[in-house]
Structure 1
């Protein structure tokens, strides 16, 4: 169908899109850098792998508790600066400062000291990042009420966010650069400060320049106070229950869980395949190929995939754009068998454009569709609008999928007989690892397509819901 003209009041100015995109860049950069630096807990700071695993898992458990609570708090906040922006401002500062402090470890400290230092600050960082991320996601859902403009906003923010993934692969190279740092430990400590400064600066921009909906007329908000804490906890669970009774939203969460879980499960396999299959375990020969693989993937996603996905969503609807982009990613995953070619390393870039449609299309479209789902929730359950709650639950599914993927990825490595202590891996091991690298994400993507076939908020339905809400609120 032809796209109706987007009203001027529903358009998000370029400056606000850029400011919101800087927030998305911060959301990507902090966990991506955290993932790179975390490897040096074992390599450089001598942390036992089991303890390092606990340091990654325990904060995720805290996330599971705090994300929905923060969603409820930001949905029901009353302030002269709106429901989201005060938390984004404070959360950006806390996230940056604590991230820098988190990595000021010393190799001379005992393992016990470093474990407790890192755990305590990790929990503090998780709280600060939740205070930032949950309101930011909610703010994005409410910046516009137009079906197509929501996709354009999310496409732009995901485009800006991809610059994090262009940069982060090179942290491996910078940390180990002997011309810059005397040791990898020093590199981690110093680079963490630079990352923190960048994230704090960029993270403040949405709080300063973005304008959410006028919250002064939002009804039925709960009082946020210690006196009402017991009632508030009941309301948190009530909101979670309403979200999971929203079938279109459940489909979005399930599809995201499947695609992101499959993608993350094999995310580290590319490094191992490049190193051991293509270069025989020779780090020197492998050089910067793994870093270039990550950077080129982000460049293709930003400059090619996201604009195409946005165009497809405008032309054929969001669900159809999701199905098409996911099908393209499946073809890309299967092409990896020929892409990782020891005789021609340049072939590793061949499947990237198709693979990038998976994650690039996923978050561009899913965040736009979640905003549509929030309209459906208001229609069914009334005020207050629950963008924060829906955003918290959605991203909680992403985090749980990531945690499960890390465990399952390690299990796959064990099952195929991978041995990180030897330079030359068995032929059968590498063959099985390459097959897993192809078929696991392809299979989870196919299941996600099946889940989304029943998603029924079309553009026509979304505009009908919006018209009913406008009439109910008495708006012009």
Structure 2
């Protein structure tokens, strides 16, 4: 078979646009929560005076708990048998519970000590992330089984990424909203009000995928579960068998080389960005605008908005490009363009020409826009190859471990980011009179870290083995073994 031969998507494998959009609403919920919990945490430093290192620690510690809860939730979702499916009950309940916990998390009383705020926010974050996992892990897994087609998977992920990016049209303005004098008295009260508005939107939109989408592999998975548990009787025996099965599945997933390459590449690209994500706002406020928080927040908002609009183009361009040159090469293009954007920050973040800071934004958008369009599609291909070897549909385990790796890296990134900010010598008390060394180091970290991480990611994906031809052969083998076309 010629290497450049492409397969056409059969009509039966196409996902209707309405279902793609509904699945994408889950991405909006997922992204608005992730953006809010990260972006609003600046309130702890600028509004309540907490040390940046402690703020970074608050971002890191709850995600360490995800190292256990994410894979466990993935396994529970894979093994669930109910009339409503394996994923949908958890998506429905999780959307409601995560909304409530998020709203309560930001009701921070004023005039308390730094220790009080630390423990209040830490305990609240642990509860929030538990319900976040309950929603997000089954939702991710549901996307992997919406279609078995190589190219339609990319289109599904493109639409869901498009919908998710709508959150990033809104989130860059969170700081501006929270400190708007006409709406709120201060940053802390602004965070409390904004959190309630976000919670209402999450509740309404988050339950829709559970109500309107179907699970393609529900019956197949139920049959596999029944075959695997046949002959195991008694609660103690079932618990022991399920516990062993969880750890066996966890170890198998971590040993699956193509999957781990995807995890490592995402870890590098996403967390290289996240490690210095907060630096952009600090650089814009304190370097470009000499400490003017209101004007700096406005331009940071515009930069985020330009990036979000750029990402909309990136998503569909990369989806189209991947059908021409393959998912792996499309990844190289996306990350390469983003690296150019990072490098341009050195020139374009200039106090004399502040509008130039908008120029790198659409180029940097190729990084995350291309990453999360391609990775979801590639992991769905990995799930098929795994089924060929394991005789199990384990979308939940793969999705949970993938996002566990991302969040574990994010935990390290946020913690290191706070330490790096302290290492620059930045002092919020100095306002617009930061030292030249602090501003220089902030700018260097903001550029060099994502450049290096992205370069390593490209090197890793160069050896990723699942091409379109390989994916087609895997599907044919699965359908022959099942005795029917999926």
TM-score (norm 2): 0.92
1:93 equivalent in alignment to 2:102: no
Q: Tell me the equivalent position of 1:462.
A: 471
Q: Tell me the equivalent position of 1:220.
A: 224
**Partner secondary structure for residue 41 of structure 2:** helix
Contact 2:335–2:454, Cα closer than 8 Å, also in 1: yes
Q: Tell me the equivalent position of 1:273.
A: 283
**CA distance, structure 1, for counterparts of residue 131 and residue 25 of structure 2:** 18
1:297 equivalent in alignment to 2:307: yes
RMSD of equivalent CA atoms: 2.1
Q: 1:439 to 1:379 in 2, by over 3 A?
A: same
Q: 403, 412, 426: which one pairs with 1:418?
A: 426
Q: By how many angstroms is 1:105 displaced? A: 2.6
Q: 78, 83, 99: which one pairs with 2:81?
A: 78
Contact 2:145–2:215, Cα closer than 8 Å, also in 1: yes
1:361 equivalent in alignment to 2:361: no
The 5-angstrom pairing of residues 27-426 of structure 1 reads 27-45=30-48, 52-107=55-110, 115-218=118-221, 219-221=223-225, 227=236, 228-286=238-296, 288-302=298-312, 304-383=313-392, 385-422=393-430, 423-426=432-435
Q: 1:325 to 1:52 in 2, by over 3 A?
A: closer
Q: By how many angstroms is 1:104 displaced? A: 2.2
**Partner secondary structure for residue 40 of structure 2:** helix
Contact 1:98–1:124, Cα closer than 8 Å, also in 2: yes
Q: By how many angstroms is 1:312 displaced? A: 0.9
Q: By how many angstroms is 1:63 displaced? A: 1.0
**Partner secondary structure for residue 421 of structure 1:** helix
Contact 1:23–1:206, Cα closer than 8 Å, also in 2: yes
Contact 1:46–1:107, Cα closer than 8 Å, also in 2: no
Q: By how many angstroms is 1:49 displaced? A: 5.5
Contact 2:66–2:408, Cα closer than 8 Å, also in 1: no
**Partner secondary structure for residue 179 of structure 1:** coil
Report the more deviating stretch, 425-434 or 316-325.
425-434
Q: 1:226 to 1:110 in 2, by over 3 A?
A: farther
**CA distance, structure 1, for counterparts of residue 129 and residue 96 of structure 2:** 13
Per-residue Cα deviation, 1:144-167 (whole angstroms, up to 9, x for no partner): 100000000001100010111110
Contact 1:2–1:315, Cα closer than 8 Å, also in 2: no
Q: By how many angstroms is 1:48 displaced? A: 6.1
Contact 2:302–2:358, Cα closer than 8 Å, also in 1: no
Per-residue Cα deviation, 1:391-441 (whole angstroms, up to 9, x for no partner): 000001111111111222233334433333322233343233323222221
Per-residue Cα deviation, 1:247-289 (whole angstroms, up to 9, x for no partner): 1101001111111121111212211221222122233543511
Q: 1:369 to 1:78 in 2, by over 3 A?
A: same
Report the more deviating stretch, 93-102 or 414-423.
414-423
Q: 1:466 to 1:231 in 2, by over 3 A?
A: same
Contact 2:46–2:428, Cα closer than 8 Å, also in 1: no
Q: Tell me the equivalent position of 1:453.
A: 462
1:441 equivalent in alignment to 2:450: yes
Structure 2: runs of 5+ lacking an equivalent:
none
Q: 1:57 to 1:267 in 2, by over 3 A?
A: closer
Q: 1:353 to 1:37 in 2, by over 3 A?
A: closer
**CA distance, structure 2, for counterparts of residue 301 and residue 267 of structure 1:** 17
Report the more deviating stretch, 268-277 or 159-168.
268-277
TM-score (norm 1): 0.94
**CA distance, structure 1, for counterparts of residue 371 and residue 422 of structure 2:** 29
**CA distance, structure 2, for counterparts of residue 307 and residue 240 of structure 1:** 33
**CA distance, structure 2, for counterparts of residue 390 and residue 412 of structure 1:** 32
Q: By how many angstroms is 1:42 displaced? A: 4.1
Q: Tell me the equivalent position of 1:6.
A: 9
Q: By how many angstroms is 1:119 displaced? A: 3.4
Structure 1: runs of 5+ lacking an equivalent:
none
**CA distance, structure 2, for counterparts of residue 72 and residue 182 of structure 1:** 45
Contact 2:56–2:417, Cα closer than 8 Å, also in 1: no
Report the more deviating stretch, 152-161 or 92-101.
92-101
Q: 1:414 to 1:119 in 2, by over 3 A?
A: closer
Contact 1:248–1:457, Cα closer than 8 Å, also in 2: yes
Report the more deviating stretch, 25-34 or 42-51.
42-51
